[in-house]
Structure 1
C-alpha cells in the first residue's frame, strides 16, 4: 500500500495494490499531458469556444451598497456551460481519458453538477458515461438526473448508507476497480488518492488565475479576501490557488453546518472533524468511534460529504485558510437574498459562501475588496428550496 503524502502530512494513496497500479498509469499520463503544448491548446480551445470562458468577475453593486461594507465581486462560474465550475475539470480529465484510450468514464455526483458536466464531456467525445448518485440525492436533484440521462449517461442509484455523496464515491470507485482496464474514473472534487487532488486543482485553478488578472484590471490591486464554499473543495481550491502566495490576501472556506454544528445534522468537517483516512487519502473528516466515516447532513447535496480534500486540510493546518460554517437556514436566506438583490439565483452550495459574506462584508471598510466564488447556478435547487421554505411557513 502506497502512502507517500503530498500536502504536509495529508494526501497519499491508501488503496489496494490494483488501484495503485491504475493510479500510477494515470499519474504518468497526467505528467506527460501537462507538459504537452498541444494538450493545453485543445483544453483552452474547448474552454473558450464550448464552455464560455473566461467567466466574468462581476461587481455586485446592489449587494455591496445594501450590506454597507466592503466591495463584493462575484466570480461567475454559474455562467459556464452546464452552470457550474465542474465543467473545467471534466474537460481536462476527459482529454486525459482520450489520451489513455479509454472508452468509458465513471463518475460520482452529489448535487448532480459534476454528473451533468461528466455526461456533457462524454457526449462531446463519444464516450460511455456511468454516473453513481445516492438515492437521496437523486430525489433532491431530479432535474439534474434527467439532464444526465438526456445527455446519454446511465445514472446508477446508490442505496447504501445515507444514500448521499460519500456512498456514491464508494460505489463509483468499486465500479472503476472492476473495469480498470477499459474505464476512466472521472473524479469530481479535489479529494481521493493521489494524483486526483492535484489533477482536479490543475484543471480548476483557471478560476483563480482569471480572477487575479480581472481584479487587478478592475481595482488595480489584489483583493483583501477570497471566499468560497467547501464540500470536497474543488471550486475553493480553484479560486484560492492563485492567491495562496500572496499572504496579504485572506482566504475563507465556508462549509455546510446543516442544522447547526452543535447537532448531529451537519457536514462541518473542518469545524468538527479529525485527521484520518477516507476514500484513499489522509485528511480531515468526521468519523464514528470505530474509524468509519460518519453520516453527515447538509441541505446542499454538493456539501454533504464527511471529508475534505487533503490540500484544504494542509491549508487549515498551516493557517493559510480559515474555514467557517454556515447553516441551512443561513444558506437559504442567502439564496433568496442574492436572487432579490442581484437577479442571480445561486446554487445552494454557493449560497453558503454568500451567507458568510452577508455577515462579514458589513464589518469591513468600504475600500476593502472581496472576491466571492459563485460556483454554480441555482436552477437545480429551486424545487428543493421551495419545499424547504414551505415547510418553514
Structure 2
C-alpha cells in the first residue's frame, strides 16, 4: 500500500519522508542446536531418538516504525518453512526453504524473505526393552542369573564330573551353575552321538544329526537318578538345517519335557526378528546355549531370528554386562559359536522354565540353524507319525503384551 500523508499546511498529498517512513529489514542468524534425545517406544523396544548437534539458519526481522503512525504486526506466509514470534525472530522448521514474512503497519505493508536451513543428523539407539514385555522378561531373567557372579568355569560348567558315557554314566551337576534353579534335566547328559532334548515323555529333539536306532540316551532327573532309554526310530524334519525327532522305547516320567516357543511368538517378542530393525546398535536378544568344545558349558549369546532361521553373531554380546558369558571354548577372543558346538540346545527362561528355540545346526564362527517355532507343524507331524501318543508342548506367553 502506498506510503503517503496529507500535508494540511500545503494542501497536498505527499510520500513519507525521513523518520516518517517505516523501514523493514530481514537478516540471517545462526543457532547451534545441541545434541538432544528423547525416548520413543517401538513395539517392545524403547529407542533413544538422538538428534546430533547442528547449525540452524534462522532470521531476524527488524522494523523501524513510522513517526507518524507507529505500530505493526507480523504475518507468516510460509508456516511450513518457519515460525515467527512477536519480536521478529524467524525460526527454521524442518529442512528449511524460502521464508516469507509480511509486515503490516498502519501506513504500509511490506514482505521480506530469507532462505533458512536446518539439517540435523537423527539416529536411534536402543535404550531398553519395554517394561513388562516378553523381551524385557527374558533379558531381566538372564541378568538376574549372572548378577554378582563371574563368568568362568566355576559358574558355567554344567558338571563337576562328566564321564562314563551311556554305559556307566557319572555326571555330577555343578551346584554353582549360574542358571540356578532353572531345570535343565530335559537335556541329555550322555548319548551315542550329539546332545538331545526331551520334548515329550517319549520323544527327543535332535538338532544336527539323527541318533542311531537302538542307541542309548541318558538323562539325569532332579532327584539325581539316571534315566536311560533306547532310540527306536527317527524322522528328519527341516527347513534349511538338519533336525530330527526320535522316539524312545519307553516314557521318561520323572522329567518335565521342554516346551517350545509358540508359533505366535512374533506377536509377543517382535524385537527378536532381525527384519524388524536394521540399526546394528540394537540389542540382540540374550539367550542361553550349551556349548561343548572345551567343556559342557552354559553361556549367554546374542540371538536373532531371520525368516525361518535362527542365528547369532561372532562378536561379544552387547551390552557389555554379558561380555564374560559368551564363549564356551578355550580361546576367549572367539566370543561365539565355533565348530564342535553343533546341536547345543538354545533356549530362554520364561516364567522360570526353559523354552526351546533351536538346537545348533551349524557351528563355525557364528552359529545358525532352523528356528523351531517356525516348524512346529512338521515337528508335531513327526511325533504323530513315530507314535508314542504325544505332540509338543508350547509355552504359554499370553500373559505378556502383544504388539
What TM-score do you get using the length of structure 1 for normalisation? 0.24
Larger radius of gyration between Structure 1 and Structure 2: 2
What TM-score do you get using the length of structure 2 for normalisation? 0.24
Decide which structure has greater helix share.
1
Greater relative CO (CA pairs within 8 A, separation 6+): 1
